[in-house]
Chain A
């Protein structure tokens, strides 16, 4: 295991922020810490990096107990949400910083930094100052800087949080490819489930300071441990007392076996997808179907239909209130 976090508790004042958190991060994996805002993701990441001290519990990095180790002795790379670029140093010197601290020979530093700048496509920018870079470029510089010291683990706090949607998407794919090239154990924080599913091998869902579920993106999406995780990872709707993904529902104009009768209240065409809004047993619900299928059914509001979970669909029975 590259990182083992055991029973970590952490409070700020009287507010508990992490509660009995234990996670294992496999060597070479790309793990997402996913959860709502204020859930403790950054705090957990900072505990791993040594930027915060846990109140109780231990952190092991590459098998070594690092709980009481100062951040500079942990050999982790940390990428800060707002980059923490060294404003008074050029891109080159930013990336070289960790190597200079380690007193590596000049030409070795030069070679390694240029390699890294190439890796992050910033070789043209070496002599610029951070203020002369775009957000995405600064982000990549921060990544190169963290990678320069060959960290045992790479920790990224909302690496794309401050970027606009387009750049975010590009960097996301790029991070995945980069990881496949470099293979350094990576943990990144995000509150965007799409980002976590697309990029990570493993997702740790953290809410209110507690680990809700750990698993591959498919596991967490398809077999959510509880309604919270199911809701957080994707769209859900409620039919017959169960939580179901709207694309996992069959809809037909004829009554079907095991189906529930519903009234169409609105049909919304969203490009390829069509969203059919229903009244089921006096509650609002919705179903997602393809355009072709919707055309075939020719639904209009007021129609009475029958709905049921598709065979093999995952659903969670909600506790009745």
Chain B
């Protein structure tokens, strides 16, 4: 589950409260059908049909056209930049997000509660504002003398900003629930702190770390607003896929835009399906 503002992880499936009755059984099937019908209609009109039309539009002039649209030099460069930057961003998040979650759970220092609240700011901040904010510190007028505007480093920076909460917020609850006695048991059996971390804590965190990373990756792939200003939108250099789609729409080339969109959709779906499999694997291990 990815959201733009942090949502606590869903409760484990199954009826809480230990009741044997999972659901109300006297629902009028007619009423249910009406409700499901309305929900599906709403979802279809706004989400499903438009997305299907994008996919259809990208291939209705034949696979050759699709392939050419995706491999034009600027589109291909945008796609590879997007995927490459997203992988880099996901990996940095994997490390930094875990460290931040660790510090937030296991460390104590004044102002920790404020830091904890701030973590969600990138989810709440409009992406264009995020871009502007970064540009004012890391742009041409940087008071630090660090100008990342119009560079790939700037793109990575923007993506790091908007994806910050994912790994932190998936790892943090797992770390909170982690049984301290497990670590004490390991220590009593002679494990050093590092061995305890490596053999006891880390294996328990891995599923959450990976799912947070996958969410950060998906978000990076799709990101638009935060990269617009700082990337300067230079084809072959800093133009990410979403920005490329945007300029193609502006240039009335909707078929080309649809082709790249479809690639992005597929990459995101593959990432999400992998995530789902990962989560099942994680939940099977308890």
Contact = CB atoms under 8 A, between A and B. Distances in A.
Interface of A: 42, 50-53, 70-71, 82
B17 A53 contact: no
Interface string B1-36: 000000000000000010010000110000000000
A131 to B, nearest CB: 15
A52 B17 contact: no
| 10 A-B pairs with least C-beta separation | A52-B25, A51-B26, A71-B26, A53-B26, A50-B26, A53-B25, A70-B26, A52-B26, A51-B25, A82-B17
A52 B23 CA distance: 11
Contacts of A52: 25-26
Instruction: Determine the main DSSP class of B at the interface with A.
Output: loop
Contacts of B17: 82
11 contacts: A42-B20, A50-B26, A51-B25, A51-B26, A52-B25, A52-B26, A53-B25, A53-B26, A70-B26, A71-B26, A82-B17
Nearest to A71: B26
Interface string B240-280: 00000000000000000000000000000000000000000
A70 B25 CA distance: 11
Given A50-B26, A53-B25, A70-B26, 8 more contacts: A42-B20, A51-B25, A51-B26, A52-B25, A52-B26, A53-B26, A71-B26, A82-B17
Contacts of A82: 17
A256 B25 CA distance: 62
A77 B56 CA distance: 57
A107 B37 CA distance: 44
A273 B25 CA distance: 49
A6 to B, nearest CB: 20
A51 B26 CA distance: 6
B22 to A, nearest CB: 10
A203 to B, nearest CB: 24
Nearest to B19: A82
A304 B217 CA distance: 83
Contacts of B20: 42
Nearest to A52: B25
A82 B25 CA distance: 19
Contacts of B25: 51-53
Contacts of A53: 25-26
- With most chain A CB atoms within 10 A of its CB, the pick from B20, B25, B26 is B26
Nearest to A81: B19
A71 B26 CA distance: 9
A275 to B, nearest CB: 36
A82 B21 CA distance: 13
Contacts of B26: 50-53, 70-71
B23 to A, nearest CB: 11
A51 B19 CA distance: 15
A266 B5 CA distance: 71
A44 to B, nearest CB: 14
Contacts of A42: 20
A42 B20 CA distance: 10
Interface string B70-92: 00000000000000000000000
A76 to B, nearest CB: 14
A71 B27 CA distance: 11
A187 B26 CA distance: 22
A63 B62 CA distance: 71
A204 B246 CA distance: 73
Interface in B39-55: none
A71 B17 CA distance: 23
Contacts of A51: 25-26
Nearest to B17: A82
A71 B25 CA distance: 11
Nearest to B24: A51
B20 to A, nearest CB: 8
B19 to A, nearest CB: 8
A159 to B, nearest CB: 17
A70 B28 CA distance: 10
Nearest to A38: B20
